[in-house]
Amino acid sequence: MTRDDIIRLAREADAWELPHLIDHDGLERFAALVAAAEREACAKVCDELENQRINSTSLSGMVFGSSVEDCAAAIRARSET
């Protein structure tokens, strides 16, 4: 995420009321921390789906796999919680 992206998002969130008082470096660090936390949370969603795949077997012993689409859907569903 670039500085311009962060500024654009801050404006969209109405967090850009007094731009001359905004600490751009602090805002950039904050955005990086938020992005890193979200990446980790998304990775955990994928890990959980993989663990479910490993632990799920059919009667014949075949493993049912979760797909990339399942992982993407689970990540997108995070916005609903």
Domain that holds residue 74: 3-80
- The answer to whether 65 and 53 are in contact (CB under 8 A) is yes
Give the distance, in angstroms, between the CA of residue 53 and the centroid of all CA atoms in the same chain. Answer: 21
Would you state the pLDDT for residue 73?
A: 83
Separation of alpha carbons 53 and 55, rounded Å: 5
Along the chain (81 residues), what's the average pLDDT of each consecutive run of 10 residues?
79 71 79 87 84 63 60 81 59
**The whole model's pTM is what?**
0.60
How many structural domains is the chain composed of?
1
